[in-house]
């Protein structure tokens, strides 16, 4: 028999074989406390616990300090920095704008870059070339008709975005429909129902507003105004009518289908008339429609038609905005 060494249990080989067999964690054996007696061990354990407790208390105090910092000091510092920064940014913006203004050319000076051959051409030959007495409309809807085309599409896109955001789901599921009905009901509860003063005022005002709006649209090429202003006036009149008489009366003549048809018809007519600029660039195609006598209502070629298109789109857009804000649906 081979001689068994007394310190075999301390030898590295023994520990390695134990670790290999998975009998005991090597760390336990290798810890310096393995040779201590039970009393010493328990004493050491108590000491460790004490240390841990003090450390925990210290940590808790630190955490409490960190947590209360935003309420005690942070808010004040934040408010002060916020105010100072707000004032500074305002002053910086005001200053830079004023400096820019001081570099602008003098108002009404004849040498200004605004007074170039373009505006001269517009003023001198606008009436002959477009047939519109109102030079502004002649510019907007003849020389720059393609820009206005884009503008009316911007309005349509805005209404589409409002549709996407605010429109409640169409009644495929029952819950949504119930919610929708509840919402509409709530909205009508908030209304002053059948307000006599509002109804009488609307009774006299709405027809006048409509006639004024139609006048502004139709005479856009003769007097101040045009499609956008007239459309906005008609839209405001529609909103007043809706507020006075409620949804049931307006839904008789203005539904989602009306909105779709009118907007689409307006935009398509405009596109058919003026979207050729996509292909010709800045080149004008001569219109076959006679310009007529400037000052007559049936004159200036396509401008009257385009005014009506823009007016229809704008009035529908204004009304649709209001209805979608109010009810979330038509």
Closest separation in Å from C-beta 230 to other proteins: 8
Residues lying near other proteins in the complex (CB under 8 A) are found at 134, 136-137, 190, 216, 224-226, 228-229, 232-233, 235-236, 239, 318, 321-322, 325-326
Closest separation in Å from C-beta 64 to other proteins: 36
Closest separation in Å from C-beta 123 to other proteins: 13
Closest separation in Å from C-beta 258 to other proteins: 19
Closest separation in Å from C-beta 325 to other proteins: 4
Question: Which residue lies nearer to other proteins by CB, 236 or 262?
Answer: 236
Question: Which residue lies nearer to other proteins by CB, 236 or 305?
Answer: 236
Question: Which residue lies nearer to other proteins by CB, 166 or 271?
Answer: 166
Integer Cα distance of 204 and 216 in angstroms: 19
Closest separation in Å from C-beta 136 to other proteins: 5
Question: Which residue lies nearer to other proteins by CB, 131 or 230?
Answer: 230
> For the range 125-132, what are the long-range contacts, defined as Cβ-Cβ under 8 Å and sequence gap of 24 or more?
127/294, 130/291, 130/300, 130/301, 130/303, 131/221, 131/291, 131/292, 131/294, 131/299, 131/300, 131/301, 131/303, 132/221, 132/222, 132/294, 132/299, 132/300, 132/303
Secondary structure percentages of the chain, helix, strand, coil, to 5: 75, 0, 25
Residue 296 dihedral angles phi and psi, to the nearest 5°: -85, 155
Residue 75 dihedral angles phi and psi, to the nearest 5°: -60, -45
Question: Which residue lies nearer to other proteins by CB, 26 or 85?
Answer: 85
Say whether 37 sits in a helix, a strand or coil: coil
Question: Which residue lies nearer to other proteins by CB, 1 or 114?
Answer: 114
Residue 294 dihedral angles phi and psi, to the nearest 5°: -60, 130
């Amino acid at each position: 028999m081979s001689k068994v060494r007394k310190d075999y249990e301390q030898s590295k080989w023994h520990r390695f074989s134990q670790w290999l067999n998975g009998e005991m964690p090597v760390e336990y054996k290798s810890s310096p406390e393995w040779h201590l007696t039970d009393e010493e061990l328990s004493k050491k354990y108590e000491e460790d616990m004490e240390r841990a407790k003090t450390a925990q208390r210290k940590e808790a105090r630190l955490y409490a300090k960190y947590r209360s910092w935003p309420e005690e000091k942070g808010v004040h510092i934040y408010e002060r920095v916020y105010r100072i920064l707000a004032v500074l940014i305002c002053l910086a913006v005001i200053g830079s704008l004023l400096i820019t203004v001081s570099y602008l050319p003098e108002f009404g000076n004849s040498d200004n870059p605004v007074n170039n051959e373009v505006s001269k051409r517009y003023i001198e030959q606008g009436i002959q070339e477009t047939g519109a007495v109102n030079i502004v409309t002649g510019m907007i809807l003849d020389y720059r008709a393609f820009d206005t085309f884009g503008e009316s599409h911007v309005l349509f896109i805005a209404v589409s975005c409002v549709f996407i955001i605010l429109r409640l789901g169409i009644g495929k599921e029952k819950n949504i429909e119930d919610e929708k009905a509840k919402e509409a009901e709530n909205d009508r509860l908030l209304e002053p129902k059948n307000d006599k003063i509002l109804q009488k005022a609307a009774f006299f005002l709405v027809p006048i507003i409509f006639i004024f709006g139609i006048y502004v649209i139709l005479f856009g090429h003769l007097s101040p105004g045009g499609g956008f202003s007239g459309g906005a006036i008609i839209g405001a009149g529609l909103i007043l009518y809706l507020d006075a008489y409620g949804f049931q009366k307006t839904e008789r003549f203005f539904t989602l289908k009306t909105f779709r048809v009118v907007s689409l018809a307006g935009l398509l007519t405009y596109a058919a008339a003026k979207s050729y600029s996509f292909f010709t660039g800045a080149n004008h195609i001569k219109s076959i429609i006679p310009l007529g006598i400037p000052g007559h209502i049936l004159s200036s070629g396509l401008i009257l038609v385009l005014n009506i298109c823009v007016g229809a789109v704008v009035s529908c857009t204004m009304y649709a905005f209001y209805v979608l804000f109010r009810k979330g649906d038509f």
